Amino acid sequence: MSDIKVDFKAVQHIAKLSRLAINEQQAQEYTNQLNQILGLFDKISNLSTEGIEPLVTPTEIEIFWREDIAENNYSSEEMVANAPSQQGSLFKVPPVV
């Protein structure tokens, strides 16, 4: 198993930084789930890939090219209409120091 583990305190810290309200039971469940995911990555990293050619994509796909055309579909007022906080035609966010 991998040396990297997610602990209960880290999950609570990440939730706080993400502004997510989770209770202790949810934090413990997420801790267990994240450690299971890390365990799966550890298993994958131990697989032998010798003789296997790397893939760009897992399936054969055709490249679809389209012309890149800039369009102004919405006004700035329409774009910030549903924002929780705005100042003029800009999104208002808390300051980051």
pLDDT tens digit string along 26-40?
999 999 999 999 999
Q: Which pLDDT score is estimated for 53?
A: 86
List the CATH number of the domain containing 32: 1.10.20
Q: Which pLDDT score is estimated for 2?
A: 57
* Strands 86-87 vs 90-91: parallel, antiparallel or unpaired: antiparallel
Confidence of residue 48 (pLDDT cuts 50, 70, 90): very high
Q: Determine the Cα–Cα distance for residues 95 and 87; give it in Å rounded to an integer.
A: 14
Residue range(s) defining the domain that contains residue 22: 1-48
Count: domains in the chain: 1
Q: At what angle do helices 8-17 and 24-45 cross, to 10 degrees?
A: 110
CB 29, CB 36: distance < 8 Å = no
DSSP reduced 3-state for 28: helix
Q: Which pLDDT score is estimated for 24?
A: 94
In a domain, 59, yes or no: no
Structure-block tokens of residue 74: 């919405």
